[in-house]
Structure 1
Amino acid sequence: MHREEDEDAQSSADAGYYYNERPNVCFLAAGAWLIGWSALEEYASDKYRLDKKGSGRVDLYVVAEGGGHAVFEAKYEWLPSVVSDQSLRKRVRGAIAKSTADARCVRNVDAKFGCVFFVPRFSKQGFSEDRDRYNEAVGSYIDRVKSIPGADLWAWSFPKLNRCQQSYPDTGYFYPGHHGDEGREILGLKSAS
């Protein structure tokens, strides 16, 4: 039964991570639950900006098995594959700065993190016949992104079998790993504590 479910998921042309921040936060929460932690998403909370109390929502609150707790404030950023180093650096650092600034507004937790889900897209033009070159381009792109200072941790998942997925309807781009219900993006995580 489990194998059939996996095959069905792999044949899907839809992926939750493709849409926006919310499904990606759900995947993080699911990961917390899978390792025995607790997670709460999108809850109302007091937030403090310049020591002024206001109301807001926290993207994700997790409680570890030992009792430590943390909040995650998330952002979602599309990244074109053809972009100057300066522009890429500005987009990546800006998104990380926004997520950590939001995390710093939450009080009374052990740890605070800003996280950004970066979803790259590659033009199909030039890659449709040359998969080896495309795989090299994806690897080089990951190296470019993770070389940018600002995140404390980088994580990514781009399985070779799923790197050439297209959007539906076809927009002329590949979204590496746009397949099934698993996240296939680059995640930047920064402590805001």
Structure 2
Amino acid sequence: MNDQYVRISCPTLVPLKPVLQSWIACTERYVRVWDADDLPYWYNEQANVSILAGAAWKADWTAIEEYQISKIATEASEKTTSIGRNDLYIANDEWGYCIEAKVCYVAIDDLLNAQKRILEKCALATDDAGRLDYHEPRLGAVFVAPHSLDVEAEAEQIQAFKEMLHALPSDALAWITPENAQKTRSHDNKHYPMVALLLLRA
């Protein structure tokens, strides 16, 4: 049975609740269409961003990926701007968010190392988002895909991982453990029982 969760602790991100719920539904649908023989979140950053973009459209928002935007850099106490790309922008009639994303693959049975790596990715994502030259809320997004090698992750391991995620600092957190997610192993013999998404204001 699917287990899903959404928590938003920052008032500025409350409008994103339907998008996060839609992200869960889109992930679920992808897994169901492929009968759990393919998982969207064991792929790269762009694949994960595409699910979130699709979720925004499904929630009656708009989304655009990999578009040009000015970025600010600080060198020797001087600020300079250059043209770069932003991973994702989503908006509705009232709200808009610039999002810089990272993906983090971690072993589900090594919580200390997983926590360290997730926090590193969060710092990178928020730093990238903070360099966007834009007035609307800028967010770092980290997709977290824990895995177990060779054997399926145990229920206790999955629960402990969720508790670790819940304790991490974030402005919003969502996760989904799709039904039959561990039916098929990845190309490198790993099982991926769940995916989580952390959002942090830059």
Aligned equivalents of 1:8, 1:94: Cα separation in 2: 32
**C-alpha displacement at 1:25, in angstroms?**
0.9
Aligned equivalents of 2:33, 2:60: Cα separation in 1: 24
Aligned equivalents of 1:79, 1:92: Cα separation in 2: 8
Secondary structure, in 3 states, of the residue corresponding to 2:177? Answer: coil
Q: Which runs of 5+ in 2 are unaligned?
A: 1-28
Aligned equivalents of 1:27, 1:52: Cα separation in 2: 33
Deviations 1:142-169 (A, max 9, x none): 11222123x212111003x324233244
Residue type at the aligned position of 2:87: D
Aligned equivalents of 1:84, 1:25: Cα separation in 2: 25
Q: Percent identity?
A: 28
Residue type at the aligned position of 1:155: A
Match of 2:116 among 90, 96, 113: 90
- Structure 1 stretches of 4+ moved >3 Å: 5-8
Aligned equivalents of 1:6, 1:94: Cα separation in 2: 29
Normalised to the residue count of structure 2, the TM-score between the two structures is 0.75
Residue 20 (structure 1) aligns with:
44
Residue 91 (structure 2) aligns with:
63
Q: Is contact 2:90-2:96 (8 Å) kept?
A: yes
The structure carrying a bigger strand percent of its residues is: 2
Residue 161 (structure 2) aligns with:
141
RMSD between aligned alpha carbons?
Answer: 2.2
Residue 106 (structure 2) aligns with:
79
Q: Is contact 1:71-1:109 (8 Å) kept?
A: no
What pairs up with 1:124-163 in 2 under 5 angstroms? 124-125=150-151, 127=152, 134-149=154-169, 151-159=170-178, 161-163=179-181
Q: Are 2:166 and 1:166 equivalent residues in the alignment?
A: no
**C-alpha displacement at 1:186, in angstroms?**
1.1
Normalised to the residue count of structure 1, the TM-score between the two structures is 0.79
